[in-house]
Structure 1
Amino acid sequence: MDQVVVPASATASPAGPMESPAQAPAPRGFTGKIGLAQFGLFGALLTPVLVTMALRIAQVDPANKTSSLSLVLGVGAFCALIANPLVGRLSDRTTSRFGRRRPWLIGGVIGGTTGLTLVAFVPSVPVILLGWALAQISFNASLATLQATVPDQVPHAQRGKVSGVLGVALTLAIVVSAMLASQIPSARVQFLAPAALAILFVGYFALTLPDKRLATKPGRLSLKEFAGSFWTNPVEHRDFGWAWLSKFMVMFGMVAPSSYLAYYLMSDFGVSTTEVAGKLALLIVVGYLCNAASAAVSGFLSDKAGVRKPFVMGSSLVIMAGLALLAVAPSFPMVLLSQVIIGLGGGMFYAVDMALVTEVLPSEETAAKDLGVMNIANALPQTLAPAIAPFLLAAGGGDNYTLFFGFAAAVTLIGTLSVTRIKNTR
């Protein structure tokens, strides 16, 4: 039976036809509110990946910090990989009187904050692992439903603009959180301050969202449908498949080095443990300010030009160039320059790729589920990179960051080529 969607405030009685999400204008203030929600959510989710988790692990288990960090990040990313598409499918089927998206948005940030509290307060690698797994599952529940509100609420012609705002918000979240982490001496506050912002902004977005709910209860979720939560057939939906592969490859290139920059600075450039947080914050702030500047204009230009693919391909090539420079950087200023280049490319990619993805979705009715499958391309590199990193870094006597970053650049090139195979959007 087809699922009829009605406003969350309506009764469960059958409703008349609604405007298509591709035609109805976005709700007033939606773009700003979702930008704030993105800012809060990614500040809480990515600050540990980029800054505080490496420092926390080094504090708790200094003798085995590289392997322990890889384990914690890898397990957490695997949990994100499972949670994102599964919650997306469940959100599409949710019949709560509070709407399809709102319960998952609010529950996710509460669960994520609980997980970060465990990480911040318990000096044990197993407990940190448990807390980070809970945080990844919960925050990705919020992420899956947050992104699904774009095809729910925004017409196609405005999605580049909204995608650009989301890209800027993501960037600013990382910059602000990195600056706070470098200025706050308390490890506990470093984890909990971004989480508090997530609760504030995601909660505000969720409570003011004109959410919709299903007027008819869907049938029981079969085992086949459950398995389908993690799969969208790339043969039947070729453009979606190529977009997934492109995102996976480019995201691998971007996330692979990020969690190891602190160790790279200490190993190759002799940065002390007391100085590394400040140096790392500088790299992140400069790189992501470039990211924000690029994202701010790229989504608008993509809407104006009416094309997505050239922007996604160009951004991927810029990211690849930055990774290549990072692989051979002879000094800290060259590392800083590499982050500028990666930031410019990453901003354009984040701003336009989301708009491209929403245009190759198999169905608007299963948007959260399909975006969840697409978000596997975000999460899977975070699992694979820590698994691959120890082998590449160990080559040639250990700490082989040139090979590791060069491999990331090569993978990004494959992602660039994959975009050319997308046919039904420009």
Structure 2
Amino acid sequence: MQLDADTRHPAPRSGSVGPARVGPGFIARYAAAYMGTSLVLIAPVSITLALKVNALVGIARAPATLALVVGVGSLVALVGNPLVGRLSDRTTSRFGRRRPWMVLGLLGGTAAITVVATADTVGVVLVGWCAAQLCFNALLAVQVAVLPDQVPTAQRGLVSGILGVCLPIASVGATFLVRTFIGSQLTMFLAPCVVGGVCVLAFAATLDDRRLPRDDRPAWSSRELAGTFYFDPRRCPDFAWAFASRFLFVLAYAFLSTYQVYYLIDHLGTAEGAVPQQVFVATLVQATAVVVTSLVSGRVSDRLGRRKPFVAGAAVVYAVAMVVVGLADSYGGFLVGIAISGLGFGMYFAVDLALVADVLPDQAHAAKDLGVLNYAGALPFAVAPALAPSILAGSGGSYPVLYAVAAGCAALGAAAILPVKAAR
């Protein structure tokens, strides 16, 4: 195992020659680590957190209570993600810029998940989930930064496509682990952390992490700190449009993933005990579609040198999926919508990350900029729980209306990518 970063690969400066091609071993380890991070984030958001809240307050109060917990946690993630990204850009540790934050994020997040699992009040769940969001999003921020750090432009579509496959595989793994340990609430929460943690630590131990010489670290200032949390859309219009597109697309996804447990119980009449099995099957169906479209779309995008048609088309497909889910009156109809959503989701995230990496404002501060971009991934999970109760209340508890709103968000996400000029 290589614990000291190779000094032949210092942190790149803006405008420097890009990284060399990466081999299959690196891609496999990177994908496994990314899948591990997705696993620890997805398991609570998709099922265990909802079940925990439901056990504490009952189904009548659960949607609003979950909205509070998930929403506040997402706001915490908005701060932690770019802040840790900026700190990792400035880190001069002998272990590299990204590796120390991977380890700290994983360990801190696992401890916080333990707090959530053993909580006996909603207040403790809220505190624990906020801490978990802070730590796990710190882990995510530095992992995403590895793409522009280590992968050349010509391979980013391929690697991004493989990373896109990791999310559905992690979703399947999360629901499988939850279903396997349904009798033990603590194990349901911790099993994904153990499995995901092994993958993350294996990657961190072998990563040829780039080191930043102390003399090259910029002086810290209050202005630089404030700049951690925003970018100027007038100076970076392409990045701004990519941000808007991702925000709208993830918002559509957040409506589906955050409320699918209650959709199954309230709209389709599923018994609570059958929910983990139904979510597992639906996730497996979605994952199959995602795997196929992610691998094909990323490679074809690299060969054609085009990103925008794939991203826009994927968002349109996802909009159609939300309409199908909303109109479903049986579990079978729900699965059809989920399968279509997998096609759109796989294509979108196979190519969108590559597009974003190509239009970053400053490659020298990639983790900071990607941390700001992750607002577009975290903020929807605060916005969706805030909007969904009002949409449901105003429509008489109509999930078709809720998912029609989600379809509209996805369609707007397709439109938002079209003005990007630096990518074809």
Q: Under a length normalisation based on structure 2, what TM-score does the superposition of the two structures give?
A: 0.95
| Sequence identity (%) | 42
Q: Partners of 1:255 and 1:297 in 2: how far apart?
A: 25
Q: Partners of 2:234 and 2:124 in 1: how far apart?
A: 42
- Alignment match of 1:46 (pick from 42, 47, 50): 42
Corresponding residue of 1:401: 399
Give the superposition deviation at 1:239.
Answer: 0.6
- Alignment match of 2:144 (pick from 142, 147, 166): 147
Give the superposition deviation at 1:355.
Answer: 0.3
Give the superposition deviation at 1:198.
Answer: 2.2
Give the superposition deviation at 1:123.
Answer: 2.2
Q: What letter matches 2:88 in structure 1?
A: S
Residue by residue over 1:145-193, the C-alpha shift from the partner in whole angstroms, topping out at 9 and shown as x without a partner, is 0011111111100001110111111110111111221222212111111
Q: Partners of 1:391 and 1:19 in 2: how far apart?
A: 48
Q: Is the 8 A contact 2:74 2:378 kept in 1?
A: yes
Q: Structure 2 unaligned segments of length 5 or more: list them.
A: none
Corresponding residue of 1:3: none
Q: Partners of 2:324 and 2:94 in 1: how far apart?
A: 53
Q: What letter matches 2:314 in structure 1?
A: S
Correspondences of 1:202-213 after superposition (within 5 Å): 202-213=200-211
Corresponding residue of 1:250: 249
Q: What letter matches 1:121 in structure 2?
A: T
Correspondences of 1:85-104 after superposition (within 5 Å): 85-104=82-101
Q: What letter matches 2:421 in structure 1?
A: K
Q: Partners of 2:400 and 2:11 in 1: how far apart?
A: 60
Correspondences of 1:2-401 after superposition (within 5 Å): 8-10=5-7, 20=16, 22-26=18-22, 29-62=25-58, 63-185=60-182, 186-217=184-215, 218-397=217-396, 399-401=397-399
- What secondary structure sits across from 1:26 in the alignment? coil
Q: Partners of 1:377 and 1:167 in 2: how far apart?
A: 16
Q: Partners of 1:17 and 1:255 in 2: how far apart?
A: 36
Moved over 6 A (4+): 14-19
Q: Is the 8 A contact 1:9 1:98 kept in 2?
A: no
Q: Structure 1 unaligned segments of length 5 or more: list them.
A: 1-6
Give the superposition deviation at 1:216.
Answer: 2.9
- What secondary structure sits across from 2:225 in the alignment? helix
- What secondary structure sits across from 1:274 in the alignment? helix
Q: Is the 8 A contact 1:43 1:177 kept in 2?
A: yes
- What secondary structure sits across from 2:75 in the alignment? helix
Shift in CA distance, 275/229, structure 1 to aligned 2, threshold 3 Å: same
Q: What letter matches 1:59 in structure 2?
A: A
Q: What letter matches 1:131 in structure 2?
A: G
Q: Is the 8 A contact 1:250 1:412 kept in 2?
A: yes
Q: Is the 8 A contact 2:164 2:346 kept in 1?
A: yes
Q: Partners of 2:302 and 2:218 in 1: how far apart?
A: 39
Residue by residue over 1:54-108, the C-alpha shift from the partner in whole angstroms, topping out at 9 and shown as x without a partner, is 1111112215211111111111111111111111111101111111101101100
Shift in CA distance, 227/263, structure 1 to aligned 2, threshold 3 Å: same
Please give the root-mean-square deviation of Cα atoms over the aligned residues, in Å: 2.0
Residue by residue over 1:355-400, the C-alpha shift from the partner in whole angstroms, topping out at 9 and shown as x without a partner, is 0000000111010001111111000101100111110010133x22
Corresponding residue of 2:413: 415
Q: Is the 8 A contact 2:249 2:410 kept in 1?
A: yes
Q: What letter matches 1:37 in structure 2?
A: A
Q: Is the 8 A contact 1:86 1:230 kept in 2?
A: yes
Q: Is the 8 A contact 2:70 2:381 kept in 1?
A: yes
Give the superposition deviation at 1:17.
Answer: 9.7
Q: Partners of 1:404 and 1:227 in 2: how far apart?
A: 36
Q: Partners of 1:142 and 1:120 in 2: how far apart?
A: 20
Q: Is the 8 A contact 1:159 1:355 kept in 2?
A: yes
Shift in CA distance, 177/16, structure 1 to aligned 2, threshold 3 Å: closer
Q: Greater shift after overlay, 353-362 or 122-131?
A: 122-131
Shift in CA distance, 97/11, structure 1 to aligned 2, threshold 3 Å: farther
Q: Greater shift after overlay, 153-162 or 171-180?
A: 171-180
Give the superposition deviation at 1:223.
Answer: 1.6
Q: Is the 8 A contact 2:11 2:210 kept in 1?
A: no
Q: Greater shift after overlay, 63-72 or 23-32?
A: 23-32
- What secondary structure sits across from 1:270 in the alignment? coil
- What secondary structure sits across from 1:421 in the alignment? coil
Q: Partners of 1:178 and 1:238 in 2: how far apart?
A: 39
- The number of aligned residues is 418
Q: Partners of 2:380 and 2:137 in 1: how far apart?
A: 15
Give the superposition deviation at 1:19.
Answer: 11
Give the superposition deviation at 1:213.
Answer: 1.5
Q: Is the 8 A contact 1:175 1:289 kept in 2?
A: no
Q: Greater shift after overlay, 301-310 or 314-323?
A: 301-310
Q: Is the 8 A contact 2:238 2:422 kept in 1?
A: yes
Q: Is the 8 A contact 2:395 2:401 kept in 1?
A: no
Q: Greater shift after overlay, 37-46 or 60-69?
A: 60-69
